[in-house]
Structure 1
Amino acid sequence: MDLAQLISDLKKGDRIAFRQLVEAYQSRVYNTVLAIVQQPEEAEDVAQEVFVQIFEAIQQFGGEMKLTAWIYRIATTKALEAYRKRHARKRFAFFTQLFRSEADGSVDDRLHPVDFVHPGIKLEQQERSRILFSAINRLSEQQKVAFTLHHIEGLSYQEITEVMQTSLPAVESLLHRAKTNLRRSLAGYYREDFDV
């Protein structure tokens, strides 16, 4: 695929070019979003929003950034927005629950996180992955994005600097702190053979 031609066609509003873009990037966008929001249905919605934003904003894409980095940046931004909104709703639901009558004794499911298992994980490793993703979920947003892009999506440190629009030392620091925090969180679950 000739990226320069693809970008040119996208800027002209070419729907075939847009379909090619979606086919080329949809699994990467979905997996990145899923690793952050950790809810498959929500990840599908957010991934669609990512491609809508790409289509609407392609005119502003100047080429000073690689297309892939630009797409990952939109995906991580949208995923973090969705994650924040969901957690704001959970906090609101929690406070609402405090003042609700306990007559029926029911518990609102929105207050309890769903056990998350990434669909790309083999069945025998799903318990490990659930614990790992739970620990990833407790990282700071910036650590979570850097960790997801490097360890789940396989981006190099340099590519992450482009996506996150930060320096190489900042990315190295984020990944180091993420690993340190994960090792601390997971110390009781994994032996030394597990390397995050």
Structure 2
Amino acid sequence: MTQIKRNFNSVYNEYHLLVYNVALNYAQNIEDAEEISQDVFLKVNESLSDFKENSSIKTWLYRITINQSLDFIKKKNSKKRFFIFGKKSQNEFELTNVSNFEHPGILLEQQEDAKVLFLVINTLPENQKTAFILSKVDGLSNPEVSEIMEISISAVESLIFRAKKELKEKLSNKFEEYRKNK
């Protein structure tokens, strides 16, 4: 048991920032990213002894973090929809709070542009969003993205191409609306 604990501690120490940053890329909110990170490391602690090393620990953590992030977002969005249909809550702010895009890596003056970009990224299908974030935001190579997503490199390239095309179209529409409203 102490061997597993020591392994968990070393995994946590080495990868907690990576997990947090991936979660932050999905949640775009510091508190949500912290919650997702905690969930990831709870899951890692429970299953580290079962890790079979078919892939690297980093790849395994990426997969867990992406899945936890997507699940968290789905759950949060379903709470918002449920609230719209009449659920009463003691914490209505929590249910109606949209991402405020608190990303510490982005300068204050760039946060508004980044907020618009991530709002549009969030409209992409999950697989396109994941490939785009891993490649363009996290800076991973296509082979690394391929391993994390468990798809071929050509499938990664296709997802990124389609994501960029869709983002270009949606962002151009967004900025067109912005210019009309000014």
CA distance in 2, matches of 1:49, 1:115: 21
Equivalent position SS for 2:103 = coil
For 1:41-56, list aligned pairs within 5 A: 41-56=31-46
Please tell me the residue identity of whatever aligns with 2:166: N
Partner residue, 2:16: 26
Partner residue, 1:127: 112
Please tell me the residue identity of whatever aligns with 1:79: S
Aligned residues: 171
Cα offsets for 1:11-42 (capped at 9, x unmatched)? x3233x32222121111111111111222111
Equivalent position SS for 2:19 = helix
Partner residue, 1:85: 75
Report the RMSD for the aligned CA atoms in angstroms: 2.1
For 1:1-196, list aligned pairs within 5 A: 12-15=3-6, 17-96=7-86, 108-109=92-93, 110-111=95-96, 113-187=98-172, 188-189=174-175
Please tell me the residue identity of whatever aligns with 1:14: K
Equivalent position SS for 1:96 = coil
TM-score (norm 1): 0.80
CA distance in 2, matches of 1:117, 1:133: 12
Task: Please state how far the C-alpha of 1:129 moved relative to its aligned partner.
Answer: 0.7
Equivalent position SS for 2:4 = coil
Please tell me the residue identity of whatever aligns with 2:175: Y
CA distance in 2, matches of 1:112, 1:177: 30
Determine if contact 1:117/1:129 at 8 Å carries over to the other structure. no
Partner residue, 2:179: none
Cα offsets for 1:165-190 (capped at 9, x unmatched)? 11112111111111111111111539
Determine if contact 2:80/2:96 at 8 Å carries over to the other structure. yes
CA distance in 2, matches of 1:25, 1:180: 32
TM-score (norm 2): 0.85
Determine which structure has the larger helix proportion and give its number: 2
Query: Highest Rg: 1 or 2?
Result: 1
Determine if contact 2:8/2:48 at 8 Å carries over to the other structure. no
Determine if contact 1:36/1:79 at 8 Å carries over to the other structure. yes
CA distance in 2, matches of 1:112, 1:122: 22
Please tell me the residue identity of whatever aligns with 2:148: V
Task: Please state how far the C-alpha of 1:161 moved relative to its aligned partner.
Answer: 1.1
